[in-house]
Amino acid sequence: MPEFGYSIIDLDPEKTVKASGRELRISFKHAREVCKTIRGMRLDQAKRFLNQVIAKERPVPFRRFIKKAGHRHGMQNSMVGKYPVKAASGILNVLTSAEGNAEFKGLDIDRLRILHSSAYPGIKMRRAIPRAFGRSSPKIRTLTHVEVVLEEIPETSEEAG
């Protein structure tokens, strides 16, 4: 088994939890944009956002991979958006795993914020598509690694009182 590390280091183990999904069958480009969008959100807000994306009620703003992409209604900073349902459901599974890790550690679920979320291309699965006259063409599928780090934000005086 390979030893997978995380791209973020020097974390406080008392206040942070990590979770990762390795070699997921989701689009890397879509996963990158979803991770960039949910970074910095609170956990409940991110889960609500991903469920809305899966239901195609709210688009994910795309900033990098936007060639021939259509505009979507209700976008704030970017006019280009998509509904990456498969990537959103894969990242939601990783978020749910991180929430379970936080619950096991004894952290307050209501005060969790996404400190780090990123997606990386994984291995390439190589196959062949049969063509005419006994030839074949390559069919290459890139798998995706997703990692999420949640941190417990300190309780403010307004929430306590």
- Whether 126 has a pLDDT exceeding 70, the answer reads yes
What domains lie within the chain, and their CATH numbers? 16-41+86-160 (3.90.470.10)
DSSP SS3 for 149 = strand
Distant-in-sequence, close-in-space partners of 15: CB < 8 Å, separation ≥ 6: 107, 151, 152
Q: Rounded to 5 degrees, what are φ and ψ at 129?
A: -105, 120
- Whether 66 has a pLDDT exceeding 70, the answer reads yes
Tell me which residue of 159, 42, 26, 45 sits closest to 112, measured CA to CA: 42
Supply 132's token pair: 């005419």
What is the pLDDT averaged over residues 49-53?
96
Half-sphere exposure in the Cβ direction for 2 (13 Å, CA) = 7
Global pTM value:
0.87
- Distance CA(12)–CA(20), nearest Å, equals 18
- Distance CA(116)–CA(9), nearest Å, equals 11
- Whether 1 has a pLDDT exceeding 60, the answer reads no
Write down the mean pLDDT value for the chain: 91
- Whether 2 has a pLDDT exceeding 80, the answer reads no
What is the pLDDT averaged over residues 109-136?
95
Check: CB of residue 39 under 8 Å from CB of residue 28: no
b or e along 18-34 (b: 16 or more beta carbons within 10 Å of the residue's beta carbon)?
Answer: bbbbeebebbbbbbbbb
Min mean pLDDT across 53-67, 88-102, 125-139 is at 53-67
Q: Rounded to 5 degrees, what are φ and ψ at 92?
A: -65, -35
78-97 pLDDT tens trace: 778 889 999 999 999 999 99
- Distance CA(30)–CA(50), nearest Å, equals 13
